[in-house]
Amino acid sequence: MARPQLSDEAAAYVRELVLTGQLRAGEFVRVERVAEELEMSVTPVREGLLALRGEGFLELAPRRGFVVAELTEDDVRDLFWVQARLAGELAARATAHLTAEQVKELEALQTSITTALERGDLDEVERCNHAFHRTINLAARSPKLAWFLRASTRYVPNRFYHRIGGWPDASRHDHTEVLAAILAGDPDQVRRAMEEHITHAGQLLVEHADLPVAATGGD
């Protein structure tokens, strides 16, 4: 039996290819090719693709293999709507618990994001962005809610962070609003700022991936 982490890695890789528009609806996903790209055997890749079928990202065509299912703008917005609500609530709860030291850490991370952007170090921007959100989520002292957020962020294409136009700069701009709200000690303002940040990220992904608009029902 394949190790779960390998099948999860394969699923995450292909999921992100679909979310970023590098794989389009109707395209075939070849098990052997993915296995080669990830340098793993075909067994965990096949298990990962079967998991994506369950999530609705892929379909299984008889005798033909895995095919990318349709993904619309509304699908991506729905995914980020869930993330925005969870992240916003965690941030609001964290407001009362963040220590002075943690606030200084957030400020330092924000400074690092700005300087890393200026020198074009997007790997450092991504690292600091992750640390910024993790510090807030842990401070919320709501482990079950944080678990749901982690589950939902499987659908954020972090592997291709650099490819999403505006994402690195959004980390700098939007975090400023979140941090200002935290410094003001206003949980409602923190919630709004975080929700707007995550929603903004979803909109940037929609624009980058050039996804189709969901069909509307007719007579």
List CB contacts of 166: < 8 A, sequence separation 6 or more: 204, 207, 208
Dihedral angle of Cα 207, 209, 213, 214, to the nearest 10 degrees: -130
32's tokens: 């052997």
> Residue 111 carries which DSSP code?
H
208 three-class SS: helix
19's tokens: 């979310």
Whole-structure pTM value: 0.80
- Report the percentage of the chain scoring pLDDT > 90: 63
Nearest alpha carbon to residue 92 among 189, 13, 175? 189
> Residue 29 carries which DSSP code?
E
Q: Each residue of 139-190: pLDDT tens digit?
A: 999 999 999 999 888 777 666 556 666 777 888 899 999 999 999 999 999 9
Cβ count within 10 A of residue 101 = 8
Pinpoint the residues of the chain covered by CATH 1.20.120.530.
Answer: 73-209
Q: Superfamily assignment of 73-209 in CATH?
A: GntR ligand-binding domain-like (1.20.120.530)
- CB–CB of 69/75 below 8 Å? no
CATH 3.30.70.890 for the 4-68 domain, yes or no: no
Pinpoint the residues of the chain covered by CATH 1.10.10.10.
Answer: 4-68
Q: Each residue of 97-113: pLDDT tens digit?
A: 999 999 999 999 999 99
